[in-house]
Amino acid sequence: MRRLPLSLIVGAVLSSIFLIAAGLSLLWTPHDVTALDISARFQPPSPEYLLGTDQFGRDILSMLMVGARTSIAVALVAVAIGMALGVPLGLAAAARRGQLLDEIVGRGNDIVFAFPFLVTAILISAVFGPSATNAIIAFGIFNVPVFARVTRSAALPIWTLDYILAARTAGKGQVRISLEHILPNILNVLIVQASIQFSLGIPVEAALSFVGLGAQPPLPSWGRMLADAQTMIYTNPRLALLPGLAIVTMVLGLNLMGDGLRDVLDPRLRRLRA
């Protein structure tokens, strides 16, 4: 076994801290995140409140843990939506390259790409009301063309290979060839792209919540913690610093992991390094 790149190890460690914290928050948090205790507001870090409390006396560590869960859930489901729709579209476009379906998928991608994301997210919130679910849907829609394009471009060269022709002489249709021959051979590219889209999803969720279009109170979210702390940034900088730090560390970890994964999985890069 070859040595794994350092970026993959560091990234995986950083990301898994947040993943474990988010998973743990489903079962247990140090304090109830919805319990307000005005008498305990603006507490500095102490054995009782490891990272202190906010202006309503809520435990910040607990809020960060649940916030991680919100961010990860939004980013993960959005990536899943993007893959579930984008990969089949890309496979179909590659199978019917140069034909009408390919054109429709290609131009459809262009149209979605042409919309500014945040404006569209605001539109969706304005029509359906702000919520974490709508943030997921908005970002999910914008993931679809990304995966459709990556899938199509990775699948095209494989369609020209002889084993595809051999599969066709074995009477296999386009759907079967796409699933049996194309998909397994582009999976590495898709995994790398998924990790990149996932790491993009974290700040997107934070940004939507920051402007009030994402997770709604009382559900804690990193973006809204930042927004709430804005007015107190001079008196209580800790309230803004902690969620900000969480966002930066999580995104850094995911990006490093994505980079490392690409180094390990992308055959073109592997050849360049060899």
Partner 1 sequence: MIGVEGLSLAIHGTPILRKVSFGIAPGEILGLVGESGSGKSMTALALMGLLPPGAVPEGVAALDGENLLAATEARLCALRGNEIGMIFQEPMTALNPVRTIGDQVAETLRVHGAAGKAEARRIARETLDRVGLSKIGMDRYPHELSGGQRQRVCIAAAVALHPRLLIADEPTTALDVTTQAQILDLLKGLVAEQGMALMLITHDLAVVSGMADRVAVMRAGEVVERGETNAVLRRPSHAYTAKLIEASGHQPDRDALAERAAVLSAEAVVRTYPGARQGLTRGPEVRAVDGVSLTLHRGESLGLVGESGCGKSTLTRALLGLEPVQAGRITLNGGPVGPDMPTDRRAAIQVVFQDPFGSFNPRWRVARLVAEPFHLFGARPADWREQVAGMLEAVGLSRSDMEKFPHEFSGGQRQRIAIARALITRPDVLVLDEAVSALDVSIRAQILDLLADLQGRFGLSYLFISHDLSVVRSVTDRVMVMQAGKIVEEGETERVFTAPAHAYTRSLIAAAPRLELISA
Residue from 31, 149, 152, 181 binding partner 1 (CB under 8 A): 181
**Judged by CB under 8 A, does residue 170 bind partner 1?**
yes
Q: φ, ψ for residue 266 (rounded to 5)?
A: -80, 115
**Judged by CB under 8 A, does residue 13 bind partner 1?**
no
Conformational region of residue 57, where left means phi above 0, alpha means psi within -120 to 50, and beta covers everything else: left
Conformational region of residue 98, where left means phi above 0, alpha means psi within -120 to 50, and beta covers everything else: left
Spatial distance between the Cα atoms of 95 and 72, rounded to a whole number of angstroms: 33
Spatial distance between the Cα atoms of 273 and 107, rounded to a whole number of angstroms: 36
Question: Where does this chain touch partner 1 (CB under 8 A) — which range of 87-95, 142-150, 158-166, 197-205?
Answer: 158-166
Which two structure tokens, joined as six digits, stand for 202? 């974290």
Residue from 20, 84, 123, 165 binding partner 1 (CB under 8 A): 165
Closer CB to partner 1, 39 or 160, in the complex? 160
Closer CB to partner 1, 26 or 165, in the complex? 165
CB of 136 to partner 1, least distance (A): 33
Residue from 24, 161, 175, 248 binding partner 1 (CB under 8 A): 161
CB of 195 to partner 1, least distance (A): 21
Residue from 96, 97, 172, 270 binding partner 1 (CB under 8 A): 172
Question: Which are the contacts of 151, defined by CB distance < 8 A and separation ≥ 6?
Answer: 86, 87, 89, 90, 91, 94, 186, 190
Question: Where does this chain touch partner 1 (CB under 8 A) — which range of 25-33, 136-144, 181-189, 215-223?
Answer: 181-189
CB of 157 to partner 1, least distance (A): 10
Three-class DSSP category at 172 = coil
Three-class DSSP category at 53 = strand
